[in-house]
Structure 1
Amino acid sequence: MTDTHFPTSHSPQHQSGYNLFISYSRQDQAFVRHLWQALTQADQKVWIDWHDIPPAEDWRQEIYQGIEAADNFVFIISPHSLRSEVCNEELEYAIRQGKRIIPLVREEVKDGVVHPELARLNWLFFRESDQFEPALKTLLETLQTDLSYIRSHTRLLVKAREWEQSGQDNSFLLRGSDLQQAEQWLAQPQESPKPTALQQNYIRSSRQVETERHFSEMQLRKLTPQQVRNRHSILNKVKKFWVEGVLEKSLQDQVLIELGLEEHAHAVMTSWNIEVETIDESKKVLPKGTKPIFIFDQMGEGRTLLILGEPGAGKTTTLLELTRDLVKRAEQGVDHRIPIVFNLSSWTTKQSIAEWLVDELSSKYQVPKQIGRQWVSNQELLLLLDGLDEVKLERRNECVVALNNFHQNYGSEMVVCSRIKDYEALKDRLNFQTAIYLRSLTIHQIHTYLDSINADLSGLRSLLNADHALQELAASPLMLNIMVLAYQGINVEELPRVEAIEERRKQLFDAYIDKMFHRPTRLKRKDRYSEAQTKQGLAWLAQRMVQESQTVFLIERLQANWLQSNFLTWLYELICGTIFGALIGFTVWPLVVLFEPVRLAVEDGSNLFNHAAGFSFGIAEGLLWGLTAKFLGKSVVTPLGGLIFCLVNGIFWGILASFGFHNVLGGWFFISPLFSLFWALISLFLWSLLREPIQPVAKLQWSWNKALQGVPKGMTLGLICGGILGLIIAIIDGVTLDITISTSYIEETVSLATISSTLGWRERLFFILINGLINALVLSLIFETIGGTISGFVNGVTGQGITETTQPNQGIQQAVINSVITFLSVLVLFSSCLIVVFAFLELRPSQYLLNLPPALRTPIFTLNRLVSIAILSGLLIFGKTFIKHIVLRILLRFEKSVPLNYSNFLNYAVDCIFLKKVGGGYIFVHRLLLNHFAENDLPS
């Protein structure tokens, strides 16, 4: 049996810790039963098959789990057990698990038939000829020998097996004092049972991860001044957004209701408890006055907590109370992690939790993604995650798996909130330390709360006593507060009576909404909206937020798919395509005409003519985009749609170019394909701009260190690009048979067609090589200077700061500011580079061989091109966000979904207590109210 391959056992789910496991043959059952009764009376917990294998379970797996969970393995020696295949298999498994084995002899056996592991041990004799009581006393004394060591061996074996079966999930590893005790246990000089290889590997891995975690924590104490400012900024935002902006203005703020708590240990998959109780036993009512922060603190390092409750039970309020306490601590020193609130509803399966956190930090808190990644990877955040039940149903279970994976890989401290029924319906469970459940209000608490309010609530009290559905709703703190606000001063006869609780909830929200419209307000009349307009606007907003799985709404996050009409969606694409196309054409075409063949074809028109021509070409490009979008629909933003759009444009402009350049040598065979390729690339650029969603813009900040780091990379890239471009120009000169000859400052364009008879292929190849080398040298130096300057600028504006203030639509407003900054910066940078270019042109060899268009040798003419480039840079790098947003807002106003001054409308809804303001965003006062508005029908 030594070569037996044992099936993998799972960690005990229902097994508790046992003092001993008894392995015996059925022929010895009478004796074993007597022994089991005696041991049980001696307060020993004994694993025995007839008592500890549940019905309909895999008995073999249960036996393996029992062996793992027991401190000692007692083997009843008799001829029957030595011949038993099952007994020998159990013995082999106990040996492999490093168990302390205690042999009990029931009948004499022959030498040589006993397993070597049994043969080397001292035997305890329980033969019929032996006195039972003295033998039992000896067994009990043996069981007590090295008891602490043996129990630690069992505990660590069970934990190591759990860790192994979880795929070596880091969350199952030992931490803190548990790890120190395990290392002390491992260092003890103990002959038997020796630590297994699995136990040793488990403890070593725990120490390695603990060291890495400790290093990450130490890094928190080594902060630069900028990192300290960033930390203070994000703490201030969390405090203002969630504590001051939501918690202190919540519906429950006037009279606080003390919620009862229960600990629901069964709701999570815990790697710490060896003994797993039944569901009923694992529910424990916590003492009155217990605060979530007390529970959280008791967990020690690596805390994870799940908060469960019914809808409206106060889960978010409890989470924010925890946030308030944690922010206070974090403000006292850098030893505490940064508590930060997120809503899980925006998570999608396309992202890992780490990636999602970085995006949420950027969009909701204006944290640069580089800083966000550092915070996540260094475990500097304490994550407070609300709304697990608000994740779309089809990806909710995957969210739990993703959270478990994130916790395994990063070890971050987390708190998650969820409605209890939605959570219990999931297949998987969070691998957290524990869970608490917010108990519903009792009828006594409800009446005590009503008595504490100085208002006429006689009608509500009478109805509560008679209406069971209303009583059930009032058990929710949220609904009780809404009842107080909605039913003040109303007689019982005026209150509608219904039996269905959902219908009662709907009527209650309708009453609340009507009441809020008539409450006193300080807003001026011009800042108010009609009831119908407000209800319609909030219904539209709620439906779109449900559709997009959003909890916090940001004006700058409006997207084209929020338009209700397919026609308006297409119109949005057409308008944006036309605007961007016109801007690109206006800027790029005057640069295109600098190439000799194109300049000859258009007869070197004036600046105004070139810009107008480019503007017209760009409009045509935009119209082609609109037609493509109409034909392909939503597929136009896919890579295949982009390829089709580029091909259509390339073919269209290539055909036009072949006619426009027919008078130029090579117009049909060379210029037309190049022109087709050029517009295909322009189309690709336009497609990349239009396919992107509207992305809010962060504030630009300058960093000299980052700028200097970017210069070498840009110089290297410029050196390579300049050299390649110089060679390409030389090759084109040779192929098109056009060169520029300069003598005595008088320049003529001479076609090599007239002298091709005098230039053989060797002479032409020599010309291409010499011209290419000189062009590559000069252009490399120019592009090296330009590349280093631009790279330094681009790298320098990616500063490490976090904006202090946040206001509605700040991302769009910042896009306008950034566009102006970019325009001025590009203009100054390129003008500086222009000085370098003209300095190089003072070298006579470059005037002969560089083949530079004459127009570029006029500084004023070139400055005109630079202004165009600067405008394009400002508008397309940051201004694209502003342009798209403005077009979308106009179309949304056209379909009467939102007013022009949308922030004013949302602020009015805040005043009516329909919404709350969270930084630069807005949330409904509760998810139930959002759902209520979302269920309202919109006019078509």
Structure 2
Amino acid sequence: MWPHRRSGSPPLLLFSVLNAANSSAVAIAVNVATAEFPQAHGWTDNFTVMASIVAAVTVVSAVSAWLDRRADRASAPPLPPDPPAAAGPMTTRQRWILAVGAVILTSGLATFVWLRPGLGGRERLSVVLTLVGFAVVAWLVAWWAVRAGRPHPTAEATRTGEAGITTRRRVLQRVYQWWVRDALHRSLQQAVRLDVALDAQPDAVEAYEGPTQAALQRLGEPEPLPDGTRLVDVYDAGRRVLLIGRPGSGKTTHLLQLTEELLRRARDDEDSPVPVVLLLSRWRTNHPHFCSWASAEIGERYGVAPAEVRQSLDDGRMILLLDGLDEVDGDYQDACLEAINSFARAASFAATGMVVTCRSQDYERLHRLAFDTALVVRPLSRGQIDRALRSAGPDLDTLRHALDRDETLRELLTTPLMLGVATIAYRGATPDLLPAGGDSDAHREVLYRLFVQRMLTRRRSLRGRPEVDGTSFPPREARCALIWLARLMRRRSQTVFYPDWLTPAWLPGRRTEWTLPPARGLAARLARRLGWDHTSTGLVGGGLAALSGAAATVPFGALIGGVRGAVVTAAGAAAFFGLGIGLTFGVLLQVPRLNRLFVPFIGREESTAYAASEWTTSARSAATGFLFWSAFGVVFVGVPVALSSTWPAAALIALTLGTGGGLSGGSVPDFAKPPASPGHALRASLHRFTRLMMILLGLVAALLAVTFALHGPWFAVVAALPMTVALMLTAGPGRAWLRHRAVSFGIARSGLLPSNLVEFLSYADDRVIMQRVFGGYAFIHRTLRDHLADEDPFDRLPEPGRRVLAEEVG
């Protein structure tokens, strides 16, 4: 059972305050709506009665929230008491929500004062419907603020532990937590303690000066180094080191052991440089040089200003530990290597230490690095493998005897990764579980299959954490989910999976080569014809468009035709927008010609916004959005309003819609910075959308004041607000949130991945099948991802896998 968090008093107070704002707006709306009916107007016009109603609703809501909190505490397991903390300032989200409540209350009171007996019934009804709609939205936002999940505990703990420390100490703390404690000490290789030797590979590097040499084609024989030579010893002698080796040979482990030693020096001596680990899989060519990319990465990951990073690199106060040159996208590998060489040859960075890791096979296809020294990880010897298996006890005697007969299996276990996998997969195994003959690929498949089953059924993880309740993810269902995740990642050439960046494009299309899980219902029937990518977008977008269209057009219908006009307009808008959006995204966009036709309006899939950690403002995009939505307002809304009301009202409606389009369209996501923790990008996008809403309300309030002062049709501005908010969901952070909801719907209905995806990824990390990488998750090795991607989720487990599962569960 996942632990509950205690609800504090600030959310309860916030809930009460916002309910007071909500109740006040509703009371004002009731007062205005009943003003035309003498039999009701008497008591609604009494201020004391209305204030009593507001107070009663607020008290009832507060008591309900308090009882709900007590119920949560009663159902949750006992938690240790929280440490005493001084009362801090309100969170940003709470301040924004309080601002929403204040704006709603203020606008409601202002509207009540501005209304005159001479105002027409249609205009009055339009304003009332708008006020009621925003009051409901305020209540929903308040409810979301109280019930929403808290930030990821790891990220929260990191921020809490970093309060009041210097930049240097913050970087040291993050390096230790992320790379030494979580990545090194809790890695699979720790299950088998080995001293993996290193050899020199001098032909893998070239001199700093001189022209760049041709690609290697093939590495020569390595030169043995004395036993016990560590990477830190070679680094101290050269400070620019390339480390290569076979897949799973322990390159990253060596790099993190170096990180631990350099970290100890930096903690003991303030003058020692600070080691920072960066993943080269994040390299892109949108930076002018390598220093720019490194500064941006360090700034995002470790919370250091880019200018400060540049100064530290100039002074040699940072050491760059770059993991995975082979993980760089194939289109960018040559550019990345040339950028590293330019950085290494620059005189201004001569004092900066660097270590780069890469697979030997991939490095042979590239040009050489201009480094001091190159090392290659030596394969495990026969004696090392035997000592490791003997030290594990008699549970591995069967495997040890099998190695004496099977040289192919012994050769496979010459890397620490596969030896660790075999130690777990074959612990306590009987001889019939071992593969009989076959090549190394066949042995690897059996090893990984048994390893996954062992890790999904064992009672405790290898992360050193308490026992985990696995009932939410039964082994068979968890294995299927891992297979589908591996397939989706490999199809998109991803080594790190960021839940925040999941979009409908990840889902299988109608021409997928995979056999998908059986599903029922309307969504499943549509997906069989349209694909889950378009089905999820069409259904979610169509449903939300129907609701938003009805809510957005009700005030206009009341403005044009009174109560009957409001009802007819809402029903027609729901059908028009719901079917229109659903058919557009579900059917029409699958036609290539129509897809190109819609590009100017909705953008291309590869450039369409999804959740981002940071958003910037583009004046050009804002101007485009303003002009487009202003034109939309004139053609589709302004003309009918002008014919039934006045042209100034139509112009104000177009101006309001254009303002929302400019704010939303002008927000451009910055995808160069991946999420720092799961859910971080989605929360940042929601916060951006909230800020845009606050700006919109401020601008609309100013427009209302000017219009009212000039005795203009101010009710048209109020009536345009709901449609403006609805249209802001079609671009920028609003659309990012909408697409995330669509893919969540598709994942849950298709059965590919669990609906509680982040919890499942955390579970896979706890099982040491995946590992946390900042705000994403990666399989412990690319070969494990490829193995799972090649598995069939519908096949019954092979005989060894079924037997292991029965033994573990029994």
Does residue 811 (structure 1) correspond to residue 681 (structure 2)? The answer is: yes
Amino acid at match of 1:563: L
Does residue 508 (structure 1) correspond to residue 447 (structure 2)? The answer is: yes
Does residue 313 (structure 1) correspond to residue 249 (structure 2)? The answer is: yes
Does residue 420 (structure 1) correspond to residue 420 (structure 2)? The answer is: no
Q: 3-state SS of the aligned residue for 1:415?
A: strand
| CA apart distance, 1:462 | 1.2
Instruction: Please give the alpha-carbon distance, in whole angstroms, between the structure 2 residues aligned to 1:895 and 1:693.
Output: 30
Amino acid at match of 1:502: D
Deviation digits for residues 552-578 of structure 1 (CA, Å, limit 9, x no counterpart): 322212122211124332234435655
Does residue 562 (structure 1) correspond to residue 499 (structure 2)? The answer is: no
Instruction: Please give the alpha-carbon distance, in whole angstroms, between the structure 1 residues aligned to 2:190 and 2:247.
Output: 18
Amino acid at match of 2:360: I
Instruction: Please give the alpha-carbon distance, in whole angstroms, between the structure 1 residues aligned to 2:474 and 2:418.
Output: 26
Instruction: Please give the alpha-carbon distance, in whole angstroms, between the structure 2 residues aligned to 1:498 and 1:419.
Output: 28
* Aligned pairs (5 A) from 1:23-34: none
| CA apart distance, 1:315 | 0.4
Does residue 908 (structure 1) correspond to residue 763 (structure 2)? The answer is: yes
Q: State the identity %.
A: 27
Q: Is the 8 A contact 1:577 1:686 kept in 2?
A: no
Change (3 A) 1:864 1:659: closer
Does residue 342 (structure 1) correspond to residue 282 (structure 2)? The answer is: no
Does residue 853 (structure 1) correspond to residue 712 (structure 2)? The answer is: yes
| CA apart distance, 1:306 | 1.0
| CA apart distance, 1:318 | 0.7
Instruction: Please give the alpha-carbon distance, in whole angstroms, between the structure 2 residues aligned to 1:606 and 1:380.
Output: 73
Deviation digits for residues 195-253 of structure 1 (CA, Å, limit 9, x no counterpart): xxxxxxxxxxxxxxxxxxxxxxxxxxxxxx99964443343222212211110011222
Residue 17 of structure 2 corresponds to which residue in structure 1?
Answer: none
Instruction: Please give the alpha-carbon distance, in whole angstroms, between the structure 2 residues aligned to 1:434 and 1:904.
Output: 43
Residue 888 of structure 1 corresponds to which residue in structure 2?
Answer: 743
Name which of 484, 508, 533 aligns with 2:477. 533
Change (3 A) 1:911 1:651: closer
| CA apart distance, 1:466 | 1.3
Q: RMSD of aligned C-alpha atoms?
A: 5.3
| CA apart distance, 1:484 | 1.6
Residue 119 of structure 2 corresponds to which residue in structure 1?
Answer: none
| CA apart distance, 1:316 | 0.8
Q: Is the 8 A contact 2:171 2:303 kept in 1?
A: no
Q: Is the 8 A contact 2:504 2:742 kept in 1?
A: no
Q: Which runs of 5+ in 1 are unaligned?
A: 1-224, 699-805
Amino acid at match of 2:532: L
Amino acid at match of 1:321: Q
TM-score, normalised via structure 2 length: 0.59
Q: Is the 8 A contact 2:657 2:723 kept in 1?
A: no
Amino acid at match of 1:313: S
Residue 427 of structure 2 corresponds to which residue in structure 1?
Answer: 488
Name which of 389, 400, 405 aligns with 1:466. 405
| CA apart distance, 1:437 | 0.8
Q: 3-state SS of the aligned residue for 2:777?
A: strand
Instruction: Please give the alpha-carbon distance, in whole angstroms, between the structure 2 residues aligned to 1:664 and 1:518.
Output: 69
| CA apart distance, 1:681 | 9.8
Change (3 A) 1:613 1:531: closer
Instruction: Please give the alpha-carbon distance, in whole angstroms, between the structure 1 residues aligned to 2:670 and 2:538.
Output: 15
Instruction: Please give the alpha-carbon distance, in whole angstroms, between the structure 2 residues aligned to 1:686 and 1:327.
Output: 44
Instruction: Please give the alpha-carbon distance, in whole angstroms, between the structure 2 residues aligned to 1:374 and 1:897.
Output: 47
Q: Is the 8 A contact 1:822 1:874 kept in 2?
A: no
Q: 3-state SS of the aligned residue for 2:764?
A: helix
Q: 3-state SS of the aligned residue for 2:429?
A: coil
Deviation digits for residues 434-470 of structure 1 (CA, Å, limit 9, x no counterpart): 2111111111122122222234222112111111101
Q: Is the 8 A contact 1:621 1:683 kept in 2?
A: no
Residue 386 of structure 1 corresponds to which residue in structure 2?
Answer: 323
Q: Is the 8 A contact 2:665 2:732 kept in 1?
A: no
Amino acid at match of 1:420: S
Instruction: Please give the alpha-carbon distance, in whole angstroms, between the structure 1 residues aligned to 2:704 and 2:504.
Output: 44
| CA apart distance, 1:535 | 1.8
Larger relative contact order (C-alpha < 8 A, sep ≥ 6)? 2
Does residue 259 (structure 1) correspond to residue 196 (structure 2)? The answer is: yes
Instruction: Please give the alpha-carbon distance, in whole angstroms, between the structure 1 residues aligned to 2:268 and 2:495.
Output: 31
Instruction: Please give the alpha-carbon distance, in whole angstroms, between the structure 1 residues aligned to 2:553 and 2:305.
Output: 36
Residue 589 of structure 2 corresponds to which residue in structure 1?
Answer: 629
Instruction: Please give the alpha-carbon distance, in whole angstroms, between the structure 1 residues aligned to 2:538 and 2:313.
Output: 40
Residue 341 of structure 2 corresponds to which residue in structure 1?
Answer: 404
Does residue 549 (structure 1) correspond to residue 493 (structure 2)? The answer is: yes
Amino acid at match of 2:391: S
Instruction: Please give the alpha-carbon distance, in whole angstroms, between the structure 2 residues aligned to 1:609 and 1:432.
Output: 74
Change (3 A) 1:309 1:361: same
Amino acid at match of 1:629: L
Instruction: Please give the alpha-carbon distance, in whole angstroms, between the structure 2 residues aligned to 1:895 and 1:571.
Output: 10
Change (3 A) 1:373 1:501: same
Q: Is the 8 A contact 2:545 2:578 kept in 1?
A: yes
Instruction: Please give the alpha-carbon distance, in whole angstroms, between the structure 2 residues aligned to 1:297 and 1:516.
Output: 39
Q: Is the 8 A contact 2:250 2:377 kept in 1?
A: yes
Q: 3-state SS of the aligned residue for 1:556?
A: helix
Does residue 271 (structure 1) correspond to residue 193 (structure 2)? The answer is: no
* Aligned pairs (5 A) from 1:769-848: 807-813=677-683, 815-816=685-686, 834=702, 838=705
Residue 640 of structure 2 corresponds to which residue in structure 1?
Answer: 660
* Aligned pairs (5 A) from 1:586-665: 602=560, 622=581, 626=585, 629-632=589-592, 635=596, 642=603, 660=640, 663=643
Instruction: Please give the alpha-carbon distance, in whole angstroms, between the structure 2 residues aligned to 1:680 and 1:290.
Output: 67
Deviation digits for residues 714-750 of structure 1 (CA, Å, limit 9, x no counterpart): xxxxxxxxxxxxxxxxxxxxxxxxxxxxxxxxxxxxx
Instruction: Please give the alpha-carbon distance, in whole angstroms, between the structure 2 residues aligned to 1:333 and 1:583.
Output: 62
Instruction: Please give the alpha-carbon distance, in whole angstroms, between the structure 1 residues aligned to 2:240 and 2:603.
Output: 46
Change (3 A) 1:613 1:652: farther
Does residue 929 (structure 1) correspond to residue 802 (structure 2)? The answer is: no
Does residue 328 (structure 1) correspond to residue 264 (structure 2)? The answer is: yes
Change (3 A) 1:818 1:480: same
Change (3 A) 1:407 1:580: farther
Amino acid at match of 1:542: A
Instruction: Please give the alpha-carbon distance, in whole angstroms, between the structure 2 residues aligned to 1:922 and 1:830.
Output: 41
Deviation digits for residues 844-885 of structure 1 (CA, Å, limit 9, x no counterpart): xx96xxx562427xxxx9788789978988997655443332
* Aligned pairs (5 A) from 1:134-145: none
Instruction: Please give the alpha-carbon distance, in whole angstroms, between the structure 2 residues aligned to 1:545 and 1:516.
Output: 21
Q: 3-state SS of the aligned residue for 1:808?
A: coil
Deviation digits for residues 92-129 of structure 1 (CA, Å, limit 9, x no counterpart): xxxxxxxxxxxxxxxxxxxxxxxxxxxxxxxxxxxxxx
Change (3 A) 1:533 1:696: farther
Instruction: Please give the alpha-carbon distance, in whole angstroms, between the structure 2 residues aligned to 1:869 and 1:236.
Output: 45
Count of aligned residue pairs for this structure pair: 579
* Aligned pairs (5 A) from 1:101-140: none
Instruction: Please give the alpha-carbon distance, in whole angstroms, between the structure 2 residues aligned to 1:463 and 1:238.
Output: 41
**Higher Cα Rg: structure 1 or 2?**
1
Q: 3-state SS of the aligned residue for 1:233?
A: helix
Q: Which runs of 5+ in 2 are unaligned?
A: 1-161, 461-465, 511-530, 606-623, 796-810
| CA apart distance, 1:490 | 2.6
Instruction: Please give the alpha-carbon distance, in whole angstroms, between the structure 1 residues aligned to 2:495 and 2:579.
Output: 41
Moved more, 478-487 or 906-915: 906-915
